[in-house]
Structure 1
Amino acid sequence: MSDNLKTIKELADELGVSKTAINKKVTDRERKLWFSKIGNKFVINEDGQKSIKRMFEGLIENQESQTENLEQKPNSQTENLEQKPNSQTENFRNNNESNADIKYILDIIEYQKEQIKDLQNTKDEQFKQLSNMQNLLDQQQRLALQDKKLLEEYKSENDRLKVLKMPSQETKEEQANIQPQEELETLKEQTRALNDKIKGQEELNNKSSKKWYQFWK
């Protein structure tokens, strides 16, 4: 590979980083300016190499300082590890207890959710039953109103028929006045007929008397 061109792996090995780290640092615009493909490999030009190195300078310095700190204080770290085995065990135990408490709380929450769900289902069922009862009550009220209306219509029709069949008070009074009058007229006619009959009999008797009188004379 040319001295002026390096593959991504070569530059990554030089900087002590991964290829993924370089790809994450480089933007699409920078990739177009610095990267090119030779064969099946991507290479970085000299400008790109310098820029990428500057990107990782701070990271490399931090890594070096951390390495120095680790080299300077190995005993102190070992001492800290030796001094705190019990505390780590206690922390582990406390963490386990905390996890158990969290699991217990989660179980309680889940149980309460189930109870709330059951209550909601019960409320829904009760609401459905109340709705059905309300519908039945409405139907009964409608039927009662219909029965009352039919009864009123029946009474009204019955009263109308009674009025048609029964004569009025005036008609009764007229009939009461007409009947004696008719009987009176009948009696008068019978009396006249009887008088006429008596009168005729008297005339007949008078004629007979005159005949006998003349005979004996």
Structure 2
Amino acid sequence: MSENLKTIRELAEELGVSKQAIQYHIKSLTNKTRQTNDKGIVVLSLEEQQFIRSKVDKQTNKNKTNDKQKDKETKWDIHNYLISELDEVKKNRDKQLAVKDKQLENKDSQISQMQNLLDQQQRLALQDKKLLEEYKAEIKDLKALAMPIREDEKDVSHQSETVPAQAKPKKWWQFKKRGQKND
């Protein structure tokens, strides 16, 4: 771990304040995940330490007359801390925008693929419709080409219509009954 990173306890001892006072000032820092060391203890970066120092110094100097130089240093420390935080936010924003841009490119390519597939489907449906119409036309032509009935065939068909209907065939059990009667 870097020497620039300090735990809350170390910073509190260095500044001569309680850990609770340091934690109070940490609340005024921007909300972000804190770094931890290999033991899982929260550590503060150099900018965070300077920000907290300036806050603690400001509180301890309330009863004393404020020196213009210290006030400028405090403002400068806060300014530097805020600039570093702003840079970090910009980096995160840029990363997120890059990811979103890539996602949009992927979506655009997916949309173009879907449009191509839809076009293909429509073309195939149109081809199927044309084939179906062609088949219907062929069937109609074949029906029209059916051979006409000749005159002598017409006479035969009329005769079959005038012939009385034949008797219905008998069932097998009816034959058996007749056979028994004759015996």
TM superposition score category, shorter chain reference:
0.3 to 0.5
Max Rg structure:
1
Q: Which structure exhibits the higher relative contact order, with contacts defined as CA atoms closer than 8 Å and separated by 6 or more residues?
A: 2
Q: What TM-score comes out, normalization by structure 1 length?
A: 0.39
Q: What TM-score comes out, normalization by structure 2 length?
A: 0.45
- Looking at secondary structure, tell me which structure has more helix per residue: 1
